[in-house]
Amino acid sequence: MAELLNNEGASGLIPEETVERTERRWLFAMATVLGLMLAVVVFTGVTQMMNPLSDVETINPATLHLQGEFVESNLGTAVETDGSITLRFLAEQYTFVPQCAVVPAGTLIRFRLTSPDVTHGFFVGTTNTNAMVVPGYVTNVMARFEHPGTYTMPCDEFCGFGHHAMAASVVVVPKEQFTKLRPEERITTCGAQ
Amino acid sequence: MEEEHHYSSASEPERVSPSISRSAALEALKNGPRGALVIAATAVGLLLVGWLLFYFVVFLTRGAVG
């Protein structure tokens, strides 16, 4: 009777050198795949100046509303002397203040956010602008929006019961239209836009 | 041919396939797990292509942020 395989499995059936050669080739293939992905990320990150946020800028979360950069009258869109825009938001449970801001297209936008209560996050829909907002620190992100439109900016870090409803809007308008806006039209709520 | 006892997850004895001979197993495996390698390489290759597509077509086109 031919010798049957029962419960011994495949041990001893495949030559050792075949097993080792197969494993070596697979290891080489996987290392190549991982190396390729790493090289792509590093190359594009270096050449396009895409970096994780590395600034550590602290602020007192208890007095944001009383003094300093994030008092209510200073929130929203501010035009700098070099033509760039600084966009300041407060992220708090469960809203961004202001809830809407108007910015010009094709301009350097500097997002500056902080929080008086818990950790939040934000991202500007369909763009790569995405960062955490941590109480006690100022989040600084630079971006440029080429296409006009209304971008939803939800909170993307769980912050409590109302997290799912926490979102702001960033309204990107053509530069010519932006320059015609009065300052109060840029920083007050844009409502249903 | 008398079947030696071996474990199976089949629910009835009639559904248990007969064991193959050692020489048949050796013949099937002599070139290593080529079929498994093809399947695994195809799966990983598709994942890599998908990753590259998302990275270049979706992520990079949305602009640099720093």
For residue A51, which residues of chain B lie inside 8 Å, CB to CB? 66
Q: Within an 8 Å CB–CB cutoff, is residue B22 touching chain A?
A: yes
| Same domain for B41 and B25 | no
Band the pLDDT of B29: cuts 50, 70, 90: confident
* Closest partner CB to A49 (pick from B6, B44, B66): B66
Q: What is the pLDDT of residue A42?
A: 93
Do A4 and B63 lie within an 8 Å CB cutoff? no
Reference A133, options A105, A166, A103; nearest CA is A166
Cα–Cα distance between A52 and A66 in angstroms, integer? 31
| Same domain for B22 and B1 | yes
pLDDT in tens, chain A (193 residues): 445 555 455 567 777 888 898 899 999 999 999 999 999 999 998 998 887 777 789 999 999 999 999 999 899 999 999 999 999 999 999 999 999 999 999 999 999 999 999 999 999 988 999 999 999 999 999 999 999 999 999 999 999 999 999 999 999 999 999 988 887 777 655 654 4
Cα–Cα distance between A115 and A92 in angstroms, integer? 6
Count chain A–chain B contacts defined by CB atoms under 8 A.
Answer: 85
**d(CA B51, nearest CA chain A) in Å:** 9
Q: Within an 8 Å CB–CB cutoff, is residue B17 touching chain A?
A: no
| Same domain for B40 and B64 | yes
Q: Within an 8 Å CB–CB cutoff, is residue A38 touching chain B?
A: no
Please spell the DSSP secondary structure of A141-163, one letter per residue. EEEE--S-EEEEEE--S--STTG
In sequence order, which residues have a C-beta less than 8 Å from that of residue A155 and are 6 or more positions away? A91, A94, A96, A120, A121, A122, A163, A166, A167
Provide the b/e sequence for A166-188 (b: ≥16 CB within 10 Å): bbbbbbbbeeeebeeeeeeebbb
| Same domain for B64 and B40 | yes
Per-chain mean pLDDT for chain B? 84
Q: What is the pLDDT of residue A1?
A: 42
3-state DSSP call for residue A181?
coil
C-beta separation of B62 from A126 below 8 A: yes
Phi, psi dihedral angles at A182 (to 5 degrees): -75, 155
Band the pLDDT of B1: cuts 50, 70, 90: very low
Q: What is the pLDDT of residue B26?
A: 83
| Same domain for B38 and B60 | yes
Q: Within an 8 Å CB–CB cutoff, is residue B32 touching chain A?
A: yes
Q: Within an 8 Å CB–CB cutoff, is residue A110 touching chain B?
A: no
Please state the rounded mean pLDDT for residues B29-53.
91
Reference B66, options A9, A66, A67, A54; nearest CA is A54
Q: What ipTM is given for this predicted complex?
A: 0.74
| Same domain for B37 and B63 | yes
Cα–Cα distance between A184 and A170 in angstroms, integer? 16
Cα atoms in the 13 Å half-sphere on the side-chain side of A132: 14
| Same domain for B36 and B20 | no
| Same domain for B43 and B20 | no
Nearest residue in A to B62, CA atom: A127
| Same domain for B39 and B23 | no
Number of domains within chain B? 2
Domain that holds residue B59: 32-66
For residue B60, which residues of chain A lie inside 8 Å, CB to CB? 44, 48
Do B29 and A44 lie within an 8 Å CB cutoff? no
| Same domain for B63 and B36 | yes
| Same domain for B52 and B42 | yes
Provide the b/e sequence for A16-30 (b: ≥16 CB within 10 Å): eeeeeebeeebeeee
The pTM for the full model equals 0.75
Do B63 and A144 lie within an 8 Å CB cutoff? yes
CB atoms within 10 A of CB A80: 10
pLDDT exceeds cutoff 80 at B65 = no
pLDDT exceeds cutoff 70 at B44 = yes
| Same domain for B36 and B23 | no
Q: What is the pLDDT of residue B56?
A: 92
Residue with tokens 């590259």: B52
